[in-house]
Structure 1
Amino acid sequence: MAAAFFTLPGRWRLVKTLRLVQNLPAVKLHLSGVAMIATEAEFEKAKNKLKTLKNDPGNEVKLRIYALFKQATEGPCNSPKPSMLDFVNKAKWDAWNSLGKIPKEEARQKYVDLIETLVSPEVPTQSEATIADVKSSFQTISVTSENNITTILLNRPAKKNAISVLMYEEIMKALEQAAKDDSTLTVMTGSGDYYCSGNDLSNFTDIGPEGVEQKSKNSGELLKRYVSHYIDFPKPLIGVINGPAVGVAVTILGLFDAVYATDKATFHAPFSQLGQSPEGCSSYTFPKIMGTSKANEILLFNKKLTAAQACELGLVTEVFPDSTFQKEVWKKLHAYAKLPKNSLAFSKQLIRGVEKEKLHAVNAQECERLVERWLSEECMNAIMGFFEKKSKL
């Protein structure tokens, strides 16, 4: 049952539920002071309910389900730890092992409670949702529109706004909506201390049953679509960089129309360190913006820039003291938003139109190269080394 469940399609649904259950505590019903534990019959019923789930609740929840099922049926983890290269079984082993010595009965109750939460209807269907409902239905970002400005807020502060597969999809959806709404400007910023820490680590470990090669191809296509949304975005797009930016959060800035940063922000694209190659059209935009030698320091040799350095090189438009950053930037943005909307949009499209075809070609080439890199032994060893280093911290 548990292994088969890992093949469910529809990976970007029921994420509201995901958040509720990632750290789900044991739920015990009390009657006359005695804790009620799920019976074997209730456990079997929950297993059958799981089979009726139409949408994929996400990998973290599936790992939780797997771990609780194993704990409830076999007890504490008793199998050898898989190798680092066996990403899927390593993730499953870690999830099971993390339950420690929780008794079978308690794991059974947690399993039943989790399945009940998943099968409960929590999210309205698209036909029932209003435009406002759609905007509020995002799980990894927050989208608001007021005073002629649509703001896309990266909203995973506990993960330093790392971009998961779900977040990639939601940002693309938000950009599509913003392109069609009545706003004059679109602003992207982050919640918490980070702007964005780049790719979520689960993007690399979640191989799935399709295998590494197909996973790499799928990831390449996802990245290609993601970057294309920035290339084709028809309105002024402004980055408000509230903290450190890493990886794709940095490289994509070359496609923004203006970038404002706090003096506490840093910019780091450690591609060669991870055995990878540039993306976000940065192999074209960075040399164009700052010159080849300066771009090489960043894209080839992993140089981390301060906000002041990024501004000096032309990647950032203006830097503000952190204490007054939000006040000064939004004062500027509200002034921009009062400018004639169509004039801004048409002017942006003229500027972008000159090289749009070139940018799409660069994006395709970068993604093709990245797929090759992800499948290389060099890249695999670099990523494994990174994970090993992280596990020791």
Structure 2
Amino acid sequence: MKPILTTVDAGVGTIKLNRPQAYNSVNKSLTLALQQELDRLAEDPSVRAIVITGEGKAFCAGQDLVEVTSPELNPGFESILNEHYAPIITRLRKIPKPIIAAVNGVAAGAGANIALACDIVIAKETASFIQAFSAIGLIPDSGGTYFLPRLIGFQKALAIAMLGDKVTAPEAVQMGMIYKYFPDNTFDEEVLALANKLAKMPTKGLALTKQAFNSALTGSLEDQLAVENKLQLEAAATEDYQEGVDAFLNKRKPEFKGK
């Protein structure tokens, strides 16, 4: 069974974590395949938006503990962190295309933090997010200590990390951890609608917006104003900007090409 399933349709590339028998827990083969598929979709000009979701009942239950407790299979924590997880997180932030985490079930440990590193996180109403690390004496990894406090605040994030609280999708929306949740029976339709909407938008401008927000995570106000100046000039030089203005002035629907 392939650990990752990928499809491309109407400008949307969908990556599905495919270890449902293990709640899509992360092992070496899955992480390397995910890196490969992210690279492939990033380079595919026909793909204008990316969705990451899970097969079966879970989004991703985090690290496969069978792997790390096996003398034959365990790659070691240094390899797991530097070669498996970190390259995924950096790809999610650097790929110049909108990336949706469609959380279809539990997202625990590294699985939760991979989701939170995406651009837009949506979830089934019955989905949940768990910083499961403290239960086995570890710290949040996969960018968890970076993104979580920025999303929900230092105090709340630290408490959730220490206590390992289960956060339901409605609670996650309320605290600003994720964008929206949808009823389970309409979730797939909502994911498709959102992905299709993004794919039809001026994706060059969306890429520059993502770049600007990434910069804002670490820079000063003065630095960020300079970044906005630079990137706005780039956005104003795109074909999509000209198309958007022309469509607005002529009261018609724009047809963006991501150029």
TM-score of the aligned structures, taking structure 1 as reference length: 0.52
Gaps of 5+ in 2: 220-259
* CA deviation string 1:234-260 (max 9, x = no partner): 211111111111111112233211111
Contact 1:266 1:307 survives alignment (8 Å) = yes
| Between 278-287 and 241-250, the greater mean CA deviation after superposition | 278-287
- d(CA) in 1 for partners of 2:95, 2:190: 25
Equivalent of 1:200 in 64, 79, 82: 64
Structure 1 moving runs of 4+ over 6 Å: none
1:7 alignment partner in structure 2: none
1:334 alignment partner in structure 2: 196
Contact 1:231 1:356 survives alignment (8 Å) = no
2:54 alignment partner in structure 1: 190
Same amino acid, percent of matched pairs: 29
- d(CA) in 2 for partners of 1:173, 1:356: 28
State yes or no: 1:153 paired with 2:16: yes
Contact 1:168 1:226 survives alignment (8 Å) = yes
Q: May I ask how many residue pairs the two structures share in their alignment?
A: 217
Shift of 1:232: 2.2
Normalized per residue, the structure richer in strand is 2
2:181 alignment partner in structure 1: 319
**Residue type at the aligned position of 1:218:** S
* CA deviation string 1:64-118 (max 9, x = no partner): xxxxxxxxxxxxxxxxxxxxxxxxxxxxxxxxxxxxxxxxxxxxxxxxxxxxxxx
**Residue type at the aligned position of 2:37:** A
TM-score of the aligned structures, taking structure 2 as reference length: 0.78
2:82 alignment partner in structure 1: 221
- d(CA) in 2 for partners of 1:253, 1:241: 7
Specify the structure having the higher radius of gyration (Cα).
Answer: 1
* CA deviation string 1:13-63 (max 9, x = no partner): xxxxxx5xxxxxxxxxxxxxxxxxxxxxxxxxxxxxxxxxxxxxxxxxxxx
TM alignment of 1:199-278, pairs within 5 A = 199-208=63-72, 215-222=76-83, 223-278=85-140
Tell me the SS of whatever aligns to 2:100: strand
- d(CA) in 2 for partners of 1:293, 1:255: 20
* CA deviation string 1:288-333 (max 9, x = no partner): 1111121122211101101101111112101111111111231222
- d(CA) in 1 for partners of 2:72, 2:144: 29
RMSD between superposed Cα atoms in Å: 2.0
* CA deviation string 1:136-174 (max 9, x = no partner): xxx201111111111101111112111111000000111
Equivalent of 1:351 in 213, 216, 229: 213
Gaps of 5+ in 1: 1-18, 20-138, 358-393
